[in-house]
Structure 1
Amino acid sequence: MAYDLEEQEQLASMKAFWAQYGNLITWVLIIALGSFAAYTYWGQRNRVQAVEASALYDEQLALLAAKDNAKVQRIAADVQAKYSRTVYAAMSALVAARSAFDANDAKAAKAHLQWVVEHGNDEYKSVARLRLAAVLLDEKAYDEALKTIATDMLPQFAGAVADRKGDILAAQNKVAEARAAYQGALDAMSKDNPGRQLVQYKLDALGEAAPKTAA
């Protein structure tokens, strides 16, 4: 009998607890399940988008090799419009910039590179800035080219930045500054970096530094 009374007391307590907190618990569960469902949906959606964007990027690379600039540009526009949240958007823009530059369309090349600077991750931003500086160098926009690589560059690009700076300064006939930049590039590059040979060649092409005259 005491056991039955104890069960009844527990049941009454549970009913009272549910009457007081039942609605709150129900809504918490609904919100939690809804959040989980949304998280699962977005995760699946992101995976699908990445696969689709990857397929377009592979197609774009083939078109770049075929020198079909018009189609390369169309794919870049599609990827940026539909898959801008994926890493392939920046990758596709870099390919489109290369294709446009090869087709003598510097304006389109700069637009794609600027898009990466504004929307890509830090690594792709650094790559885009280096390539944008090269386009500006080709246009003889030296000050703008130097400004492009002056900030927001990842440390691992220090050698490439110094090399590009040397190119810009050499084009301005600032020989001493260009020499210092190329030397800085060599100092920043690892011994097995394949780019060292080209930098050394450019440094040697500048000639020896003029000897200091006695006071």
Structure 2
Amino acid sequence: MAYDLEEQEQLATLKAWWNRFGNIAIWALTLALAAYAGWSGWNYYQRNQANQAAQLYDELQKAVTAKDNAKVQRAATDLTGKFGKTAYAQMSALAAAKVAFDANDLKTAKTQLQWVIENGRDAEYKAIAKIRLAGILLDEKSFDEGLKLLAGDFPTQFASAVADRKGDILAAQNKIDEARTAYQLALEKTEQNNPGRQLIQLKLDAIGGAPAKNVG
């Protein structure tokens, strides 16, 4: 009998608790299940997006090898349009820009590079796009636009490349003192064993510059 009474008290307590908090508990459980389902669904979506993007990027790479500019541009457009938030989109736009440039399709090359600058999620990819686009603008004699692209902050590892490109633009403008300063900075930021140092030094010598001090 004591057991029955104790059991009845527990049931009464449980019933009272349920009457007071039952709806809250149901809502909390529902929200927890919905959150878990949403999280699982989002992870599945992300994996699916990445897999599709990887397959399309593989097709783009094959087109790059075949030097098929039209196919490369189609694949890159699909990637940036459908999978713009993936790293594959940034890589595809940079690859498509290079192929377009080699095909003398400068308008398309500029468009692809501009996409990376405006939509890229990684500072490194955006830096590469800015430096390459500044090179095209140099060829087009759009010097001020090129220098504007190279202004602002860049990841540390791009300091030499940025200074070198600035030197090219300034030299083309016949701003020799400023170009010399830029080339000297590029040398200072380039490691001693980097083969690119020789070209920078040649450009510096061509405008009557002096070697940068050895900071290594």
**What is the aligned partner in structure 2 of residue 13 from structure 1?**
13
Map Cα deviations across residues 33-72 of structure 1 (whole Å, 9 max, x no partner): 1111111112122112212212222221221232211001
Distance 2:125 2:153 in 1: 11
Structure 2 match to 1:179: 180
CA–CA separation in structure 2 for the residues paired with 1:87 and 1:72: 17
CA displacement, residues 138-182 of structure 1 (integer Å, 9 cap, x when unaligned): 100000000001024222211111011011111112222111101
Q: Distance in 2 between matches of 1:39 and 1:194?
A: 48
Classify 1:14/1:191 alpha carbon distance in 2 versus 1 (closer, same or farther; 3 Å): farther
Asked if structure 1 preserves the Cα contact closer than 8 Å seen for 2:143 and 2:169, the reply is: yes
Distance in 2, Cα, partners of 1:14 & 1:197? 83
Give me the TM-score of the superposition, normalised by structure 2.
0.90
Aligned partner of 1:195 in structure 2 is: 196
The letter for the 2-side match of 1:90 is Q
Q: CA deviation at 1:16?
A: 0.9
Superposed CA offset, 1:103-124 (max 9, x none)? 2221111111111111112221
Instruction: Report the identity percentage.
Output: 59
SS at match of 1:150: coil
Matched, 1:166 2:163: no
Q: Contact (CA 8 Å) 1:126, 1:152: kept in 2 or not? A: no
Q: For the Cα contact (< 8 Å) 1:60–1:92, is it kept in 2?
A: yes
The answer as to whether partners of 2:63 and 2:72 remain within 8 angstroms in 1 is: yes
After superposing the two structures, state which structure 1 stretch, 151-160 or 169-178, moved more.
151-160
Q: Secondary structure at the match of 2:116?
A: helix
Match of 1:97 in 2: 97
**Alpha-carbon separation, structure 1, partners of 2:116 and 2:33:** 37
Unmatched tracts of structure 2, length 5 or more: 211-216
CA distance in 2, matches of 1:78, 1:157: 29
TM-score (norm 1): 0.91
Is the contact between residue 90 and residue 116 of structure 1 (CA under 8 Å) also seen in structure 2?
A: yes
Cα deviation 1:51-107 (Å, max 9, x = unaligned): 221222222122123221100110011111211121111111111111111122211
Aligned to 1:212: none
Which residue number corresponds to residue 213 of structure 2? none
Name 2:131's counterpart in structure 1.
Answer: 130
1:76 aligns with 2:65: no
Deviation at 1:129, TM superposition (A): 0.7
2:180–2:209 contact (8 Å) kept in structure 1? no
Deviation at 1:202, TM superposition (A): 1.6
Structure 1 runs of 4+ aligned residues shifted over 6 Å read: none
The 2-side partners of 1:170 and 1:59 are apart by: 40
Q: How many residues align?
A: 209
